[in-house]
Amino acid sequence: MSKMGNYCKAYPISSLRQFSGWRENVENARKEKKQVDGKEVEVTRQLTDGDFLYLQEDFTVTDGVFIDENVIFDRPTPEWVSFCKNELKFDGILQ
């Protein structure tokens, strides 16, 4: 069962990609249904600068609101946390 965190905020990927240590786990992006040779198949969606991802309370980034699904970035280093707080104005876990 999917787990919903207490807090997350959507950001355009272009904002997240400004972090010098940003590395996307693109294989974890949500699946989309497409028609291929007349058959409906699921494929991993391509992430573009126009898409939004969710910065979670634990400073991971997901492709959807659930904290434990479609994790795109999971390296919450001190530099990343500082970038989130200072550049993105994200506070993380609410007190």
pLDDT tens, 59-85? 999 999 999 999 999 999 999 999 999
pLDDT tens, 48-59? 999 999 999 999
Banded model confidence at residue 93, pLDDT cuts 50, 70, 90: low
Q: Is residue 40 pLDDT above 60, yes or no?
A: yes
What is the DSSP code string of 18-77?
TSTT----GGGSPEEEEEETTEEEEEEPPP-TT-EEEEETTS-EESSSBTTSSEEE----
* 63 neighbors 53 (Cβ within 8 angstroms): yes
